[in-house]
Structure 1
Amino acid sequence: MKPGTLKSRRGSAGDDEEASGGGEYSSFPLTPRRVYWWSSGLLKAVVALVILMAGVLIGLAGSANVSRYYYYSSMGSSSLSLQAEAGAEAANNNNNNGAGVVVPGATRSISRGGGGNSRKKKKMRMEDDDEAAAAGPPPPPVLLEFRGFVDPGPPWGHSMSDPELFWRASMAPRMEEYPFQRVPKVAFLFLTRGPLPFAPLWERFFRGHEGLYSVYVHAVPGYAGRYRRSSPFHGRQIPSREVSWGSITLVDAEKRLLANALLDWSNQRFVLVSESCVPVFNFRTVYEYLVNSAESYVESYNIDVPQCAGRYNPRMAPEILEEQWRKGSEWFELNRELAVDVVADQRYYALFRRHCTPSCYPDEHYIPTYLHLWHGARNANRTVTWVDWSRGGPHPARFGKAATTAAFVAAIRNNGTRCLYNGEPTTVCYLFARKFAPSALGTLLNLSTTLLDF
């Protein structure tokens, strides 16, 4: 055999092994090119199979991610829809009932997309939903009880500012009939710096007439009066502010007392008294006199003297003209309608705040002038609180133990003056008197069981 040639027929085993590396003989000659083709084909098939498998795996993974995305997206949309419905329901309840309803879990956010965080939040949301379902529907909002609206005090703990209090107190029903059993009461408004030295006398005056009166005390801020729980003064101190003599703050205190008393719808008459005031008739006489009166009792006059007409400020025009200017005693008595008007007034009060400065004394001019402008026909133009100005000076006479006798008190009760009551003349013109010193308490207590008859 020549070198470089192969046998074309099947030969011995040794020749076959030399050509093919072992095995059966081939029916056709095997060349190196044909061996390469067979090997590369197999490699391409394997690569194609690997690419196909990889494509299948990638496709499955992508499909899973897409499904997971749409699953959580739909869950998020459903949760957002539930939140929107819950919010709408809460808003509807807020409009109908005046109070919001808190929806459990409504503010928890939903994370879109896959991952462990999303699954944790989903689990937390499901737990919240389970807790909300177990807790049941939220309780209904607490509505204002009618009894508390009709008579809100005491104890006095409201945090209303003066504008809020005056706005609340100025409310007045348009219906003439009351939907509850209303017994008219007289509100006694005590304007004091601190202690009430005649509290024992007033306690004896009020005794046995519960339900026919109310007591309100305006003292300096922080002062806490010490009274027995059975005392009509116990717990009757209203939220107060500092008061300066001769300034507009006295009018503020008066309006504050009126406003707090107006919160009780049974209060019909309102009497302003001081710590030096005492009653000179028994409670039944005072009550019937005021409740049955067709007029209020505010002193209102104008005389051409420096202490009256001389205090007018022309800057008050044109709202208040010089001939409309009035003066009177600070210690007034008002019915409910006039008390509401005084508390609600802002126009004339603002004029007095700006233009009735010291030496004008707003407490002596504001209410007399205001009532003269708008309610003159409903005012008796006199006071029911007696006082002695005969000695002159900026303050009235003061009476201690020595001056307080039975004859002196009897003269106050019937001092020879005559006045009109519901259009008829009467000698009962004063129901209260001032200005008494604390030393007169013992004598007045002794007279309460005889002359005063209480």
Structure 2
Amino acid sequence: MKNQNQNSIALAIKSFNTPINIINLLSSFFLFACGITCGIIFTFYFKNFSVNLQVINGQILNYSSLNSHPLSPPPPPSPRSIIPRVGLNEYIKPINVEHDMSDEELFWRSSMVPKVKEFPFKRVPKVAFMFLTRGPILLSPLWELFFKGNEGFYSIYIHSDPSYNQSHVDESSIFHGRRIPSKEVEWGKINMVEAEKRLLANALLDISNQRFVLLSEACIPLFNFSTIYTHLMNSMKNFVETYDQPGPVGRGRYHPRMSPTIKLPQWRKGSQWFAMDRDLALEVVSDQTYFSVFKKHCKGSCYADEHFLPTFVSMKFEKRNTGRTLTWTLTWVDWSKGGPHPTRYYRSDISVEFLKKLRSESSCEYNGEKTSVCHLFARKFTPHALSRLLIFAPKVMQFNH
């Protein structure tokens, strides 16, 4: 018996030590390790695959949701799986006037027009006050008084030199954060017209803006907000100054190569400060034909800002424009002293009598009837005039009424 047990042990040891059995053992161990590794990989893969199937476009979907009787409610989405919603509000009113669009992209985007005329939301028509400036709004305290209490009825857009630092503008100011992406502008050059189009295009992005007024940092309002708002909103025509002026500073600035797109008899002159409705603003930003002619040929002493809009509006939309002339413009200015620039007004020039004169010295036509409300704004007022304007203007112009 003892010998039999010893023989069995010896046989087992002999079998274990044979090369063939060692190879079989190693093969079995290798296959076992591969099985464990594959199991881990497939488990991880199918777990992620299940999550990816569940999260599509910020909504939770699974196989059971495709059936009419889901087996169980899906788990809540993780914060990263939810895509931010861009709805109607983001389309009709941009949250911020700053953006990274090029001019070409901006003009294309702003020229879009909805075909459905009825608005699917409550809309309060607004006036877009667009300031073309070198730097700050020099008379901002006066404008603050003008706008006070009329929130929701206006929008503000500022185009200033890119080098201007707005860090000193108080966060509580109505002008804070209202500068659009701006480019350098030179007096009398075509880039001034480009700045005007840039202001219009940015203002058009807000669907509630229905009237568009171009102003400078030297402009002041001559009436209170409600009077100006009502005058602009109820007007059946636009206010773009346009007139034919013979001589070197009028027709003399025309370039023959503008023909046949623009012919000499069609050439017009006028102030760059305007007020227009949304339909005309859309035409201005979407035009490429006439502006390209100006950009190519209106150089040097041509002064594109005095001729592009007057010529374009007179040629294409004359019936929709008042055609106000140099004697009664929407923005009052004094050219009586001659020279390339109008009269500037300082502190000593400001009085109650002077402001009343600006408000009522003219007579013009408004919606087919005579009126004395011809100048809604006036220029050029220096910062030195601000202290007296703050004293007299609110009383004369009846701010907050």
Larger radius of gyration: 1
Deviation at 1:395, TM superposition (A): 0.6
Q: TM-score by structure 1 length?
A: 0.71
Matched, 1:157 2:87: no
- Per mean C-alpha deviation after superposition, the further-off stretch among 442-451 and 248-257 is 442-451
Matched, 1:234 2:176: yes
**1:302 equivalent in structure 2:** 244
Deviation at 1:229, TM superposition (A): 2.9
What do the CA deviations read for 1:279-320 (whole angstroms, capped 9, x no partner)?
A: 011101000000000011000011211101101111011111
**2:80 equivalent in structure 1:** none
Deviation at 1:448, TM superposition (A): 2.6
Matches within 5 A, 1:16-165: 124=41, 127-134=44-51, 136-140=54-58, 142-154=84-96, 156-165=97-106
Of residues 337, 353, 361, the one that matches 1:407 is 353
What do the CA deviations read for 1:144-191 (whole angstroms, capped 9, x no partner)?
A: 21101110132x331000000000111111222111111110000000
Deviation at 1:126, TM superposition (A): 5.2
Contact 2:355/2:393 (<8 A) preserved: no
Structure 1 unaligned runs (5+)?
Answer: 1-115
By relative contact order (CA 8 Å, sep 6+), the higher-ranking structure is: 2
Q: TM-score by structure 2 length?
A: 0.81
Deviation at 1:339, TM superposition (A): 0.3
Deviation at 1:335, TM superposition (A): 0.4
Count of residue correspondences: 338
**2:21 equivalent in structure 1:** none
Structure 2 unaligned runs (5+)?
Answer: 1-32, 59-82
Contact 2:93/2:205 (<8 A) preserved: yes
Q: Structure 1 residues 435, 139: CA separation in 2 closer, same or farther (over 3 Å shift)?
A: same
Matched, 1:389 2:331: no
Deviation at 1:373, TM superposition (A): 1.0
Deviation at 1:143, TM superposition (A): 4.6
Q: Structure 1 residues 138, 362: CA separation in 2 closer, same or farther (over 3 Å shift)?
A: same
> What's the % identity of the aligned pairs?
50
**1:436 equivalent in structure 2:** 381
Looking at structure 2, the residues matched to 337 and 153 of structure 1 have their Cα atoms a distance apart, in angstroms, of 23
Deviation at 1:134, TM superposition (A): 4.0
Deviation at 1:407, TM superposition (A): 1.2
Matches within 5 A, 1:328-407: 328-382=270-324, 383-407=329-353
**1:190 equivalent in structure 2:** 131
Q: Structure 1 residues 207, 121: CA separation in 2 closer, same or farther (over 3 Å shift)?
A: farther
Secondary structure (helix, strand or coil) at the match of 2:211 reads strand
Deviation at 1:228, TM superposition (A): 2.9
Q: Structure 1 residues 124, 360: CA separation in 2 closer, same or farther (over 3 Å shift)?
A: farther
Looking at structure 2, the residues matched to 274 and 129 of structure 1 have their Cα atoms a distance apart, in angstroms, of 65
Over aligned residues, Cα RMSD in angstroms?
2.0
Deviation at 1:124, TM superposition (A): 4.3
Secondary structure (helix, strand or coil) at the match of 1:174 reads coil
**2:396 equivalent in structure 1:** 451
Q: Structure 1 residues 450, 352: CA separation in 2 closer, same or farther (over 3 Å shift)?
A: same
**1:171 equivalent in structure 2:** 112
Amino acid at match of 2:46: D
**1:45 equivalent in structure 2:** none
Q: Structure 1 residues 276, 121: CA separation in 2 closer, same or farther (over 3 Å shift)?
A: farther
Looking at structure 2, the residues matched to 381 and 121 of structure 1 have their Cα atoms a distance apart, in angstroms, of 83
Secondary structure (helix, strand or coil) at the match of 2:396 reads coil
Matched, 1:180 2:121: yes
Looking at structure 1, the residues matched to 124 and 339 of structure 2 have their Cα atoms a distance apart, in angstroms, of 43
What do the CA deviations read for 1:55-80 (whole angstroms, capped 9, x no partner)?
A: xxxxxxxxxxxxxxxxxxxxxxxxxx
Looking at structure 1, the residues matched to 310 and 98 of structure 2 have their Cα atoms a distance apart, in angstroms, of 32
